[in-house]
Amino acid sequence: MRAARRPRRAEEDEESVFVSMTDLMVSFLFIIMILLAFFATQIAPRDTVPRERFETVANKLIDREKQLQALKEENERLRRLVSAQAGNPIERYNFQSAELRGKMLDRIQKRIRAADTSIDVSISRNGDALEFKGDGLFGSGSDAPSATGRRKMEVIAGILKDELQCFSLGERSTLASACNPSVALIDALQVEGHTDSTGTDVLNMDLSSRRGTSIYAIMVTASPDLLGFRNLKNQPIVSVAGYGKGRPIRDNDSDLSRDANRRIDLRFIMFAPPEEQFVPQRIEDLPRLRQLLAAGPMP
């Protein structure tokens, strides 16, 4: 009997040792799994989008959000102003002109995007200009646009030619009540050149003016009809201005940002009556207003 019990106890001891080893292995594997899970959370996935592309998309989203908010605020401000001064013909006319300009800029922006999706155009915070990001338009220190930039500006010139007809005078004007019931008139369309922060103020002011002039030349060569649009003083609407590095739309802290600042803006300045007698009520008033403006300020 003792001999029979001895082997059984030995077997039980072996099973106990086996169970202990199994528990130890399970515990060890469990610890390994926990460590692997921990290290997996510390490993960041590889970037699948180039950083410049990410910054471009992010900046576009930020710009559009700011632009929308600014337009809402400006629209509300103008509405309150008109409501408070409903009896003032000058304020009422200026408000109506601003509204028609806003609709025109929105229409131009949509047409440009439909014609060429690569053109990055937005409406300025004040709702009075079209801003075109650099997108390689000018090289650093250069006033000559790239071939791609030249082609884009030619497309834009053709669209402007169509849109300016009902907001101007001159031989190419098609001004009519159907398209311009408030007789809102453009006083100037400025082709504005801008630079990045590289260089001195004097150098950049000169460079930005030359950039504006080069784009002006491209636009009127592509669409000569632009030269036929006039304001109430019979002056050409299309003009040139340079602002140097003073009006950046990006921080100048990267190549991408500096490229965006080397840009062109198109600013639409509307006719603002200096006195109530200069407020046009209908298209037939325009010859009288031209005479008044030609005569100069009252003594």
Dump pLDDT digits (tens) for 202-259.
999 999 999 999 999 999 999 999 999 999 999 999 999 999 999 999 999 999 999 9
Dump pLDDT digits (tens) for 122-172.
999 899 999 998 888 999 999 999 999 999 999 999 999 999 999 999 999
Question: What is the side-by-side order of every strand in the sheet holding 129-132?
Answer: 121-123, 129-132, 264-270, 186-193, 238-242
Return the CA Rg of the chain. Answer: 34
Residue 141's contacts (CB-CB under 8 Å, 6 or more residues apart) are 198, 199, 207
| Domain range summary for the chain, segments of one domain joined by + | 54-295
* pTM exceeding the 0.75 threshold for the entire prediction: no
Dump pLDDT digits (tens) for 1-47.
444 445 455 445 544 544 455 565 666 666 777 766 666 665 555 55
Percent of all residues in the chain with a pLDDT value above 90, rounded to a whole number? 64
Q: Does residue 84 register a pLDDT over 50?
A: no
| CATH number of this structure's domain 54-295 | 3.30.1330.60
Which residue matches tokens 């509300």? 76
